[in-house]
Structure 1
Amino acid sequence: MAHLVVVGGGAAGLSAAYYARQAAPDLAITLLEADTRLGGKIFTVAEGGFVLEGGPDAVVRYKPWALELMRELGLESRIVGTTPARPSALIHNGEQALPIPAGLQMVVPGDLRALAQSPLLSPLGKARALLDLILPRRTGNDEAFGAFIERRLGRQVWEQLVAPLSGGIYGGDPYELSTQAAFPQLVALEQQHGSLIRGAIAQRKTRGSREAGQLFASLEGGLGTLVKALEAQLTGVSLRLGVRVVGLERKGNWLVHTPEGTLHADAVVLATPAGVAGELLANLHPEAAQALQAIPYGSSATVSLAFDKAQLPPRVGHGLLMSLGQGFSARGFTWSDQKWAGRAPEGFGLVRAYFSGVEASPDELVKLALHDLERLWGRLPKPLHTWVFHWPLGLPRYTVGHLERVAQALQAEALPGLFLAGAAYHGVGLPEVVRMGREAAHKAVRFLSDLPQPQKLA
């Protein structure tokens, strides 16, 4: 019987194991995860009536792969949307919190009236943004995201609107993001419509709005529900937690070395961070390994704080993003009890702070979050509960040239029976990671089905 080994038990690895099992029920599958739990950065904690998300708290509906997986797993009735809110979120410019314009598509204004009325931009900034409607499209090499937005919409739109939004998605310096890798949809809008704003207006006809609670989705009980449902479906899969892969060899088939011994495999899915994959492939494919290790990573963290709701000032919408360079430590805050139903007991407010690139202890992260909140609110009630989730080197950064690095890294798939998946390649969001896990599984099953079958004796 053919044997598939999946290395990594995060969303990509779990998806790969699940889809491989669905496509080939008789296939022997082993999933190895260095941690003692499954799910990677999907980390939901239910405690004392609170539901905390240590990693992602939502999926976007217009990228269908995570929602498709949820429905396949029988979770349709448990899919929930955000509570409607107008405005849905605000951006603090260092002096005051101002609403994000309604009708935003990704990070681009898709409603001209809302753009005209937005206090985030000056009249000159709005006029400059409208030049996008007549500027010629440009083709060429990859472009830093900040330069791309400034070219199309102007510096003020970049600084006051797009930088806070994109910095909350990818971390690091949002200006240095690769536009082609991080926002290929915006490159397509420029090419197809000749204008980002025209393209965003067209998208509004097919996509929901964040104000109506139509853009994001999660699950009752948090995204950890997805991990539990996937694990329940991995019947016959050997799940080995706390087992780190320390080496790979190819001698006829694959040898997967662990401190507990060596596994023989006919195919391997590497669903690990890029640096780990690079270490494992250093002797097998040096060029791919070098590209993998050149993909930069940064740390991220979330701090959740529970307060007596009666002591909190009014909070608008689902949260607040912070403009860069204004002295805030957190990239943004989510009012979790207002964004999702059932995330806090009656009478409690639940606030989640998001940090990127901040190296600090858990206690220091709590202090930084409280300091920012005190600056925002003026008067800070004492938190009744705190939870800290820290992800050292947990976030791949798609800097300029990312697609070239990925193309070189994926040359490792020329090794027979090796397949790569994960957030390092074509999207950091949960939907993209699920899609890459599914694609790796299908490629592995096709490869295994083409192997010569042993002859039965008459």
Structure 2
Amino acid sequence: MRVALVGGGLTGLSAAYYLEQYYPNVTMDLFEAGDQLGGWVRTDTDHDIVLEKGPDSFLATKPDLVELCEKVGLGPHLIGTNPRVRGAYVFWRDRYYPIPDGIQTGVPTKAKPVLTSPLLSLTGKIALAKDFIMSKGPTTDQSLGHFLRRRFGNQIVDRLAAPMLSGIFAGDIDQMSLKATFPHLLAAEQQARSVYLGSKRRIPPAPNEFVQRYHSAFLTVDRGLEQIIHSLAAALSRTQVLLSEPVERIEPASHQKWSVISAKRQGEYDAVIMTIPAYASAQILAFLPHEAQTILQNIPYANLAVIGAAYDPADIPVKTDKTGFLVPKQADLRMTAVTWVSSKWHYPHVAPLFVLRAFYGRSTENILEYDDDTLTQLFYREIERTMHIQHPPKYLRVFRIPKGMPQYVVGHLERIAELHQYLASFPGLFVLGAFEGGVGMPDRVKQAKDMAQTFGQQMGLSTAEYETSS
């Protein structure tokens, strides 16, 4: 069976890996428009430092990516966060405030830390009591921001929840879908009436074997996450990787096959797997019904920029005893967060420099309209204000990430369900990616693995072949 895979990011490579593992008679052509694999998973190791362009870690509590890393030989190279550094700050009114203990997905689960935090005023703390006296809200989808403001007031949302949760999704909390991001908060309200009480009663899962093995809930690779991409690619034996070869269009062909036309070739395949952004899939899959096209085209994406810098440690005047700091929108800064890489991770064999990453890009702005020089000058001004750094870095890199993060706006899950109803009319076509839900790296691997496990059933492979190979 011949399969075309479109997209050489983590999702596409994971799909290729699992299809090879499960089905020995499947061969694949993997089409990647860029000149290298990995999507936004890129690592800069120049100047003997580790500087990530995109994500810098993944959750060990979601086991799929850890399992995959161990299968491709990266187990000995996985490292956890610095055990001596916990938590982060919020930069507010030109001061650092520790994030109170017990804040989970923007919601307090411990009363004393949040009630004694100087980050909130007396008015903001009194507003938290709304959660105990308000009745249940609607069960329909709503914005995460509206939900939290209704339960806890504006202040804790603006100063804590929004910078924490918007940082995960690079989105506007007042536009994000509650059901597509944190549905357990809605469940807590419905079951306990109080989100605080419902969240406290929610039994956290016991640390899995990977958290215990690596002594951390967050993991990375000792020479950067791009090593996952290289190891996955090296593990493929029946997949032809076609770099710098964008697919121009895909059309149904005769005898239940698919015609794939790229910039360099045309071929027929038994199945097609799309792992590229929604808007790109819409352009290539022009045969889809108008309604399906519209759903794919209308999924918004946020533009992002990441500035990485390495300093002489003597030039850092502030105490960097946490993983970094978040910046609320109301703080009158363009940066959204700063990670103190050298505090968060103990990468082995790196230069004795202090490395940090500053994040730019909110869903309400296009940060990429500025050129690199303008972004660099903006970074210098804001890093001086937030960290009082007077000296230039030894090394600086601007990473531009156009349309880097899909936005799960209200009603997202309903639209995705409708999309899959249309796709069901086209057997042999599989469309997946971060736009469906779950932006983390483990989510991408799980999605690819789940698709591969059902591939045989949908494509008519024998049960014996499937069971034997899996």
Give TM-score scaled by structure 1 length: 0.92
Identify which range, 333-342 or 406-415, moves more after superposition: 406-415
1:53 maps to 52
Q: 1:61·1:214 contact (CA, 8 Å) conserved in 2?
A: yes
Aligned-pair distance for 1:344? 7.9
Identify which range, 29-38 or 122-131, moves more after superposition: 122-131
1:227 maps to 229
Alpha-carbon distance in 2 for matches of 1:195, 1:85? 34
Aligned-pair distance for 1:202? 4.1
The structure 2 residue matched to 1:380, chosen from 378, 387, 390, is 390
Which stretches in structure 1 are left out of the alignment for 5+ residues? Answer: 452-458
Distance 1:281 1:435, change over 3 A: same
2:466 maps to none
Distance 1:291 1:80, change over 3 A: same
The structure 2 residue matched to 1:406, chosen from 382, 398, 416, is 416
1:321 maps to 326
The structure 1 residue matched to 2:436, chosen from 425, 438, 446, is 425
2:458 maps to 447
Alpha-carbon distance in 2 for matches of 1:8, 1:437? 12
RMSD: 2.3
Task: In structure 2, give the amino acid aligned to 1:414.
Answer: S
Distance 1:26 1:193, change over 3 A: farther
1:311 maps to 315
Alpha-carbon distance in 2 for matches of 1:377, 1:251? 59
The structure 2 residue matched to 1:434, chosen from 442, 445, 458, is 445
Alpha-carbon distance in 2 for matches of 1:205, 1:112? 18
SS in 1 for 2:20: helix
1:122 maps to 121
Alpha-carbon distance in 2 for matches of 1:444, 1:173? 36
Counterpart mapping for 1:31-430 below 5 A = 31-85=30-84, 88-203=87-202, 205-206=204-205, 214-252=216-254, 253-313=257-317, 314-342=319-347, 345-356=350-361, 357-359=366-368, 360-410=370-420, 411-430=422-441
Distance 1:205 1:401, change over 3 A: closer
Q: 2:48·2:350 contact (CA, 8 Å) conserved in 1?
A: yes
Alpha-carbon distance in 2 for matches of 1:23, 1:55? 30
Aligned-pair distance for 1:240? 0.9
Alpha-carbon distance in 2 for matches of 1:217, 1:195? 33
Task: In structure 1, give the amino acid aligned to 2:426.
Answer: L
Aligned-pair distance for 1:346? 4.6
Q: 2:408·2:437 contact (CA, 8 Å) conserved in 1?
A: no
- Per-residue CA deviation, residues 183-236 of structure 1 (Å, 9 max, x unaligned), is 22322333344433234334574367x9x9833221221211211121121112
SS in 2 for 1:173: coil
Alpha-carbon distance in 2 for matches of 1:215, 1:39? 23
Q: 1:20·1:445 contact (CA, 8 Å) conserved in 2?
A: no
Alpha-carbon distance in 1 for matches of 2:352, 2:461? 60
Alpha-carbon distance in 2 for matches of 1:44, 1:413? 38
- Per-residue CA deviation, residues 356-388 of structure 1 (Å, 9 max, x unaligned), is 141222222222221111111334221110111
Alpha-carbon distance in 2 for matches of 1:139, 1:448? 41
- Per-residue CA deviation, residues 379-410 of structure 1 (Å, 9 max, x unaligned), is 42211101111111121111112122222322
1:456 maps to none
- Per-residue CA deviation, residues 283-332 of structure 1 (Å, 9 max, x unaligned), is 23322111100101121111100110011112230101101132211111
Aligned length: 449
Q: 1:79·1:218 contact (CA, 8 Å) conserved in 2?
A: yes
Report sequence identity in percent.
33
Alpha-carbon distance in 2 for matches of 1:250, 1:407? 23
Distance 1:333 1:365, change over 3 A: same
Task: In structure 2, give the amino acid aligned to 1:317.
Answer: K
Alpha-carbon distance in 1 for matches of 2:432, 2:204? 32
Identify which range, 195-204 or 257-266, moves more after superposition: 195-204
Q: 1:85·1:318 contact (CA, 8 Å) conserved in 2?
A: no
2:468 maps to none
SS in 2 for 1:174: coil
SS in 1 for 2:108: coil
- Per-residue CA deviation, residues 12-41 of structure 1 (Å, 9 max, x unaligned), is 111111111111022111211111111111
Give TM-score scaled by structure 2 length: 0.90
- Per-residue CA deviation, residues 93-115 of structure 1 (Å, 9 max, x unaligned), is 23321111123323222222322
Q: 1:145·1:176 contact (CA, 8 Å) conserved in 2?
A: yes
Which stretches in structure 2 are left out of the alignment for 5+ residues? Answer: 463-470
Task: In structure 1, give the amino acid aligned to 2:173.
Answer: P
Q: 1:275·1:295 contact (CA, 8 Å) conserved in 2?
A: yes
Distance 1:388 1:68, change over 3 A: same
Q: 2:175·2:409 contact (CA, 8 Å) conserved in 1?
A: yes
Task: In structure 1, give the amino acid aligned to 2:440.
Answer: G
Q: 1:278·1:293 contact (CA, 8 Å) conserved in 2?
A: yes
Q: 1:305·1:351 contact (CA, 8 Å) conserved in 2?
A: yes
